[in-house]
């Protein structure tokens, strides 16, 4: 007698066992004879269901049988829901991040912000975490406009704005100290006016501001300084300053729990230029963003903003 273990199995191998007229197929007759099943040349539907009832394929966590859970009286087989919400994922500023299980099913989908600026896939430059306008709240905007583009957020400031600071504060609060904030901006587009400034700005719960940035001193030279504001329209004074610089576009602020340490660099390599104590002005930092102060027509790009350090090999413009 043939070895049953080596024979094709109808249910396991998905082989047709019933003809359109309800009679068993020749394969099923031969298979049943090998298994010593009495077919006698035919089988009624009732006999067939009785047979299947004795050869049940129960539902599993992956397969649902309708309506009863076994093949004897369940003509429909369906795939269980994975829990993923049916939807269209991704837009101009976000991509879908997909989780796939060992059986190739999508089990989770979330949207993540697109990063990389004008990235090109591989390269020596520090990659950008491109800011999106919807993640920020305008601060004392006045007639200053903010626009999303592929390089980040563009600030445009008309003439006649007066000596005030204007910009954007991130909707999300900074993490608990210690932390580092990494930001990149194009400062070459700020109008040449004495004491124009652009930089990373920290805020406390009382509305005080502290700006770490670049200042035009009226002689086409860029100074690094830290200045304090009682409010966006009330200047307090310079906290520290006097370092000349030329082409640095990255700023790193380190909150070590006691001080804010101010660095400039290329996104990977840093030099500390100044430090101020938290107790001296801000106390607890509750917000962070980018601000500009200029009474002239000004335009600059805010390219990167993140509490995570750039990872090597990003390929973005530096």
Domain contains 73: yes
Q: Do 168 and 150 reside in the same domain of the chain?
A: yes
Token output for 296: 């002239």
Q: Do 228 and 147 reside in the same domain of the chain?
A: yes
Q: Do 287 and 228 reside in the same domain of the chain?
A: yes
Q: Do 74 and 86 reside in the same domain of the chain?
A: no
Domain contains 103: yes
Q: Do 74 and 88 reside in the same domain of the chain?
A: no
Q: Do 24 and 95 reside in the same domain of the chain?
A: no
Q: Do 257 and 171 reside in the same domain of the chain?
A: yes
Token output for 243: 């370092």
Number of domains in the chain: 3
pLDDT at 1: 42
Q: Do 140 and 211 reside in the same domain of the chain?
A: yes
Q: Do 220 and 209 reside in the same domain of the chain?
A: yes
Domain contains 65: yes
Q: How many Cα atoms within 13 Å fall on the side-chain side of residue 33?
A: 11
Q: Do 289 and 144 reside in the same domain of the chain?
A: yes
Domain extent at residue 87: 81-114
pLDDT at 7: 58
Domain contains 313: no
Q: Do 181 and 252 reside in the same domain of the chain?
A: yes
Domain contains 312: no
Q: Do 150 and 297 reside in the same domain of the chain?
A: yes
Q: Rg (Cα) of the chain, in Å, rounded? A: 34
CATH number at residue 194: 2.60.120.200
Q: What is the pLDDT along the chain (318 residues), one digit of tens a residue?
A: 444 445 565 555 567 777 777 777 777 777 666 655 555 555 666 666 666 666 555 555 555 555 555 544 545 555 667 778 888 888 877 888 888 888 788 888 888 877 654 443 344 678 889 999 999 999 999 999 999 988 889 988 887 777 889 999 999 999 999 999 999 987 555 555 556 788 899 999 999 999 998 877 655 556 788 999 999 999 998 888 776 665 668 999 999 999 999 999 989 999 999 999 999 999 999 999 999 887 677 778 889 999 999 887 554 554
pLDDT at 4: 45
Domain contains 317: no
């Amino acid at each position: 007698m043939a070895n049953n273990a080596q024979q094709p199995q109808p249910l396991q191998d998905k082989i047709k066992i019933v003809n359109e007229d309800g009679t068993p197929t020749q394969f099923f007759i031969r298979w049943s004879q090998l298994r010593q099943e009495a077919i006698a040349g035919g089988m009624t539907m009732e006999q067939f269901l009785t047979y299947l009832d004795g050869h049940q394929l129960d539902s599993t966590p992956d397969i649902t049988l309708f309506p009863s859970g076994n093949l004897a009286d369940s003509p429909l087989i369906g795939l269980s829901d994975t829990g993923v919400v049916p939807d269209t994922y991704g837009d101009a500023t976000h991509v879908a991040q997909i989780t796939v299980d060992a059986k190739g099913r999508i089990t989770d989908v979330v949207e993540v912000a697109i990063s990389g600026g004008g990235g090109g896939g591989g390269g020596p430059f520090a990659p950008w975490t491109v800011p999106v306008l919807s993640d920020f709240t305008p601060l004392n905007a006045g007639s200053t406009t903010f626009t999303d583009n592929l390089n980040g957020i563009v600030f445009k400031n008309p003439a006649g704005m007066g000596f005030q600071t204007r910009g954007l504060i991130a909707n999300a609060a900074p993490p608990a100290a210690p932390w580092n904030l990494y930001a990149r901006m194009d400062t070459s587009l700020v109008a040449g006016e004495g004491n124009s400034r652009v930089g990373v700005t920290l805020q406390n719960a009382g509305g005080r501001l502290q700006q770490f940035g670049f200042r035009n001193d009226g002689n086409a030279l860029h100074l690094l300084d830290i200045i304090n504001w009682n409010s966006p329209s009330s200047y307090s004074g310079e906290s520290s300053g006097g370092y000349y610089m030329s082409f640095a576009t990255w700023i790193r602020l380190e909150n070590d729990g006691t001080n804010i340490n101010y660095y400039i660099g290329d996104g990977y390599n840093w030099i500390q230029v100044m430090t101020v104590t938290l107790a001296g002005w801000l106390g607890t930092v509750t917000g962070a963003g980018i601000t500009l102060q200029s009474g002239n027509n000004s335009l600059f790009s805010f390219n990167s903003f993140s509490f995570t350090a750039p990872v090597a090999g990003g390929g973005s413009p530096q």
